[in-house]
Amino acid sequence: MKEIDARGLLCPLPIINLGKAMSQCESGDELLLHSDDPATQSDLNAWSRMTGNTVNPITATSFLIVKK
């Protein structure tokens, strides 16, 4: 599984890096995002709604993303 370590990066870089990585994924692919930026969790909810990709929080700073 592909992983993105965005810890230490501030908004909007974690989501920008996620978007770039997702553009190289196929439908059903899983990706693990690590981010400790306080804006990431709420932004992932909106990003999921807008893109249709699924976001499953694993911990407060790790998120499993599934491409639609």
Is residue 25 annotated as part of the catalytic site, yes or no?
no
Structure tokens at 49: 């709604």
* Alpha-carbon gap, residue 24 to 66, rounded angstroms: 13
Site size for other proteins, by CB under 8 A? Answer: 16
Residues within window 25-44 making contact with other proteins, judged by CB under 8 A: 37-39, 42-43
Could you tell me the two tokens for 58? 């694993």
In the set 2, 3, 6, 11, the catalytic residue is: 11
Please, which residue, 34 or 37, has the CB nearer to other proteins? Answer: 37
Q: Is 60 in the site for other proteins (CB under 8 A)?
A: no
Rounded CA-CA distance 5/46 in Å is: 20
